[in-house]
Each structure stands twice: as C-alpha cells, then as structure tokens.
Structure 1
C-alpha cells in the first residue's frame, strides 16, 4: 500500500501549481515574501485532509476540492505570519521571519495578502455551506488570535482557556479542511460528521504535542528556538498542569508573568516533573478518539487517516 504522501502526490502537484500561479513574484515585497514562505516547505497537513475527504465524494467535482486545498494552505500560511508577530519570532521553518526581517507593517500586509488570495481562490467554488463555514472559521481564527493575545503572560488562565486557544489555533482549521473537502465533493453529511470529529481530535492532539515539543524537541526540527512559548508568555498544557499541583511553581510563574524573573528555574522544574508526560497522555487520548471516529470510513481513506494518526502519536520520538 502506498503512503499517504505517495497516494496524494499528483494532487499536491496540482495544488502547488494553483498556489504558485496565485503567488507568482512580481517585485512587490509582500508578494515576494508570500511566495518565499510557500516555497520554504511545510507539512501541508490541512490540504491533505481536504484531499482525503474529497476523494470520498463525487470525483467529477474534484477540481473544486483542489481549489479548497490550495486556499486552506494559504490561510495556514497567513496564520503563521501573524503568529510570528504575536510570538515575536525570529525564525520560521529555519528562515528569518517576515516580521523580524521587514517589520510589523510588512508582516501584517503579507499575512493579509495571503488571506485575501485564499478568499479569491475559494470564491470560485459554488457551494453555500462551504462559504458559510469558510467565513465563520476565518472570524473564529481572528477571535482565537485576539484571545491568545489577551491570555499572554496570564498566570491565572484555566485549562479551559488553554483548550479554547488550541482549538481555534489548530483544530478549527483542520475541521474546516475536512469540511471543505466534503462540501466541495458533495460528501454525505453522515460520513462528513465522522470525519469532522476525527479532525477535532487530531487537531487537539497535534497542538498539545507541538506545545510539548517546545520543551523537549530539537531546535533544528522545530525551526524555532526552544522554550519560546514560555518565554513569550504563552503558557501551554505542561505549564498549567504543573502550576495546578505545585504552589511554589505557581508563585514563581506569577512572578515571571509580572517581571520576567525565574524563567530558567521554571523550565528546569518543569522538565524534572512529569507534566510533559501527562500532557502527552492527554494527546494520546485524543488520538484514540480520532481512530474511533473513522472506524466505519471506507478504505483506503480510513487507512490513510489512521496513518496520519499513527505518525502524530509517534511524533515526539
């Protein structure tokens, strides 16, 4: 059996052609930087879900599935550019960020350009529910970015606050990726609902693992400095779990949030605890629920979705 990458390779070539056509460099900085970001690579996980969902529907409508996949990759790229502003990030995918190299306004404009290009591309698909979901998700993504800013350096945020953040940051866009593939291809609502449930749990698991890798990952693979979430006041699941059971850690976290003290000590304490292991266990629970959601999906799509889940479950290793 082919891997999911091999199975979708020809479809990704078509998506890449669509994106390149829409982002062709024209000597305007915003356009050129958008094209460079696309060419720098990435996992292309969101259009992968769009394509897999689309292959369960009407093959005669697959051109719209390709457009949907391309538009979602553009949205994801836009969110990365804006995330770099929020996180004050110097590096993205091993390269200097637009924000660090060219400043706030150029980064904002680059993200907005990518978003507007995505909207232009998806506008050619004729499906009312697809457009409703697309527009609502963009609104919720922006709401998520604003909420993340509001929670920055908030030592008192709840676990529910964290789950709300990562849902809007990651799971929401994976859900949309599946919805758009299903809508564009005319997939039945029964099958689509199971896929959406899978997407929710995959997205939550993905972000929890990503947050853990900020502490235990390799900087070369991360494409950014370790501990950057903590340093920038984005308190992730391991931090919140340990805060809730260690009064000394909680007090030092509050002090760090106010005046920047104790960062190294906080990281050392966290690494010596089992908070990361506990977080990864919660991620694994989401993976199991994702597997359960697609148990009745037709082959070979079920096997490819399972493959993605397995790779995600083993990602820290």
Structure 2
C-alpha cells in the first residue's frame, strides 16, 4: 500500500490550487495575510479526512469534495486567526500572528475574509443537507468561542462545559470534514455515521492530547508558547481533574484571576500530580472508541484512517 501522502497527492494538488486561487493576492493586506497563513503549514487533517470520505463515495463527485476540503481548511484557518485575537497570542506556527504583526483590525478582517471565502467555495454544491449542516456547524463554532470566553478564569466550570468547548473548538471541524465530504460524494448513510463516530472521538482525543502537551510539549512542536492555555485562563482537562482532587490547588485556581503570580505554582502542582496521566488515559479511551467505528470501512481508506489515528495517539508518548 502506498503512503497516505502519495495516495492523496493528486487530490491535494487540486485542493491547493483552489485555495491559492481563492486567496490570490489582490493588493489587499487581508488577502496577503491569508495566503501566507496557508503557506505556513499545518497538519491539513481536515481536508485529508474530507478527501478520504469522498473516496468512499461517487468518484464523479470528487470535484465537489475538493471544494469541501479547501473550504474546511480556510474555515480552520479563520478560527486560528480569531483564537489568536481572543488569547492575545503573539506566535502561531513559529511566526508572529497577524494580530500582533498588523493589529486588531487587520486580523479581524483576515479571519472574516477566510470565513467568507470558505463559504463561497462550496456555495454551488447540491445536496439537501449539506448547507444546513455547514451553517449550523459555523454557528456552533462561534458559540464555542463565546463559551470559551465566558468561562475564562472560571474555576467552577463543569466537565460538561469543558467537553462542549473542546467539541466545538476541535472535534466539530473534524466531524464536519467527514460529513461534508460524505454529502459531497453522496456516500451512503451507514458509512457516513461510522466516519462521524470515528471523527468525533478522534477529535476529542486530539484536543485532550493538546491540553496535556501544553504542559509537557515543546514550543516548536506546539506552535505556541507553553502553558498558554492556563496563563490565559482556559482551564483544560488536567486542570479540572486536579481541581477536584486537591484542595490547595482548587483554592489557588480560584485566586488565579486576581493573583496572576500564582501561574508558576499552578504549573508546578499540575506537573507534579497524576492529573496529566489521568487526562491521557481519558484521551486513550476516546481513541479506542474512534477505532471501533472503523470496522466496516472499506480499504484502503480504513487503513489510512487508522494511520492518522495512530499518529495522533503517538503524540502522547
């Protein structure tokens, strides 16, 4: 079996062309920033999943699948630009963010341009459920950003609040990738539901891993400063787990908003506890649930999805 990269190479040439054509420099800074953000890299997980879902459907509909893949990559980029504004982030993928380099208004315009271009790319796809699914997902993504903002420095938030945030922040776009790829290629309902189950749990697992790597990873791999979630008042799964196990930590966390000097102490307590290992175990359980949904998926797509899942899971090691 050829590598995933080689298998999808012809597809990505077409997706890449669609994105670059959509963001072609027009003497407008927002266009230039959007194109540079795309060129700066990223894992391209979402377009990969869209294409793999499309490969299971009608081969005559791959042109629409490419539009979906390009659209979702642009939507993902838009969320990153807006995240950087919300989190006051100065670095993204090893370079200055649009927000820090060009200011608030240019960053907002860049995010809005990416979002509008993403929607326009798929405007002519014909499927009875496609556009309603896409529009509802965008609404949920925006509400997820608001939910994250509303719970900033909220030490009393529930696990349900946390899972709503990470579903809308990460898992939803992965679910959307396989669903829209399935709709575009007119894939059968049963296979689409299997792909959706896989995508949901691999998305949750992926985000929980990111939560842990914020404490244990290196900044070059993360593409952002370590401990930035905690520093910005975004209390992730390891933080919530330790909050419910340690009275001293719970009190320090409650005081953190008014006493930012507690940051180093909170980090030390988390790293010295078993909360990271417990969060990793929860991520692994979501990973196992994701894999269980691949049993009925046809080859070679099943093997490629398993490969993607394994690469994500290895980030725990």
1:216 counterpart residue number: 216
> Contact 1:4–1:304 at 8 Å: present in 2 too?
yes
Q: How far did 1:257 drift?
A: 2.2
Distance 1:56 1:44 in 2: 19
Q: How far did 1:25 drift?
A: 1.1
Matched ranges for 1:52-91 at <5 A: 52-91=52-91
**Cα deviations by residue, 1:154-205 (Å, 9 ceiling, x for unpaired):** 1111111111100000111111100011000010001101110100001000
Matched ranges for 1:270-281 at <5 A: 270-281=270-281
> Contact 1:255–1:261 at 8 Å: present in 2 too?
no
> Contact 1:56–1:187 at 8 Å: present in 2 too?
yes
Aligned length: 317
1:287 counterpart residue number: 287
Q: How far did 1:316 drift?
A: 3.1
Distance 2:128 2:239 in 1: 42
2:251 counterpart residue number: 251
Work out whether 1:297 is the aligned partner of 2:297: yes
**Cα deviations by residue, 1:258-296 (Å, 9 ceiling, x for unpaired):** 332311011011001111111111000011001101111
1:181 counterpart residue number: 181
2:207 counterpart residue number: 207
Matched ranges for 1:10-89 at <5 A: 10-89=10-89
Q: How far did 1:27 drift?
A: 1.9
When the two structures are superposed, what TM-score results if normalisation uses the length of structure 2?
0.99
Secondary structure of 1:262's aligned partner = helix
Structure 1, 5-14 or 275-284: larger mean CA deviation: 5-14
**Cα deviations by residue, 1:186-245 (Å, 9 ceiling, x for unpaired):** 100011011101000010001000111110001111111100000000000000000001
Work out whether 1:228 is the aligned partner of 2:228: yes
Distance 1:297 1:273 in 2: 40
Structure 1, 4-13 or 174-183: larger mean CA deviation: 4-13
Matched ranges for 1:126-165 at <5 A: 126-165=126-165
> Contact 2:280–2:316 at 8 Å: present in 1 too?
no
Q: Segments of 4+ in structure 1 off by > 3 A?
A: none
**Cα deviations by residue, 1:80-125 (Å, 9 ceiling, x for unpaired):** 0000011110000111001111111111111000000001101021
Secondary structure of 2:261's aligned partner = coil
Matched ranges for 1:89-100 at <5 A: 89-100=89-100
Distance 2:281 2:174 in 1: 21
Structure 2: unaligned runs, 5 residues or longer = none
